Amino acid sequence: MTRLAVPKTYKLYIGGKFPRSESGRVYEITNATGEFLANAAKASRKDARDAVVAARAATGGWAGATGYNRGQVLYRIAELLEGRRAQFVAELRASESLSESAAQLQVDAAIDIWVWYAGWADKYVQVAGNGNPVSGPYFNISTPEATGVVAIIAPQESSLLGLVSVIAPALVSGNTVVVVASERAPLAAISLSEVLATSDVPGGVINVLTGSAAEIAPWLASHADVNALDLAGAGDLDGDLSWVDLQIAAAETLKRVLPPENGIPAPSVERITFFTETKTVWHTKGII
């Protein structure tokens, strides 16, 4: 008897859960030769709004955790990713037509990035903050804090390494994230969502949308409850929409905007501090 395969339909990842798109839309994920791999949810404007609501609700707890604790959580993601290494290698080979060795290198690099940023979680403040010189019996101290909800357009040509390279630095300081994954090859992003759901990451801290970045990005750019925008993958958007259009939309609500860059963003402390606000505190040294 011939057995029929059961094609999988993946869902979104919002608020620590896996809802279907409210629009009911899905699209086919295929490999480079057009062969069917799976179905993915096609997120809508309403899904983007729901993701922002979930991210906002999670900001207090995540930003309020110690840097040491956030570092442990990020390191736990690396541990789980390492345990499912073979799955991610297979998915990258299927969806991006990579060789075995190239796929292994990308997965290993993604794991290493989680570890790298985990190590900075309780250290970046010492680099970005400082004690300021003042004329008087006062301490004047500046320290970075999370800016809030960060919306990210992930690199479209690197479904795992590109995704991790933009998510991880935003999380370090206590921001929460709404990310639009690679439209053409979202398998790795969906599998990463399953890793996140079984890790120590609180629900709502990372929200993953699949579908058309060109459709979803304008709503995130103009959303008044999004505090910052990372346009890492916006240089590859389809249609007439450009990253400049998104930057203009973001200006209406005074968002921080990180423009696209060529290739996959390299790990850097600057990507951590870009999504922070500096708080300055005055305190007396003693009785005047």
Closest CA to 123 of 71, 61, 168, 73: 71
Domain residue spans of the chain: 26-284
CATH fold for the domain made of 26-284: Aldehyde Dehydrogenase; Chain A, domain 1 (3.40.605)
Count Cβ atoms below 10 Å from residue 244 Cβ, excluding itself: 11
pLDDT reading at 288 higher than 70: no
Q: Determine what percent of the chain is predicted with pLDDT higher than 70.
A: 98
Phi-psi region of 265 (alpha: psi -120 to 50; beta: other; left: phi over 0): beta
Q: How do residues 101-122 score in pLDDT, each as one tens digit?
A: 999 999 999 999 999 999 999 9
Q: How do residues 88-99 score in pLDDT, each as one tens digit?
A: 999 999 999 899
State the residue for tokens 């390492």: 82
Q: Indicate the DSSP class of residue 236.
A: G
pLDDT reading at 135 higher than 90: no
**Residue 37 · residue 31 · CB < 8 Å:** yes
C-alpha to C-alpha distance for 151 and 222, rounded to whole angstroms? 11
Q: How do residues 147-203 score in pLDDT, each as one tens digit?
A: 999 999 999 888 999 999 999 999 999 999 999 999 999 999 999 999 999 999 999
User: Per-residue confidence at 260, pLDDT binned at 50, 70, 90?
Assistant: very high
Dihedral, 109, 113, 116, 121 alpha carbons, nearest 10: -170
Distances (CA, A) of 240 to 189, 234, 236: 25, 12, 11
Instruction: Tally DSSP H helices, then E strands, for the chain.
Output: 10, 10
Dihedral, 13, 19, 22, 23 alpha carbons, nearest 10: 80
pTM of the model: 0.93
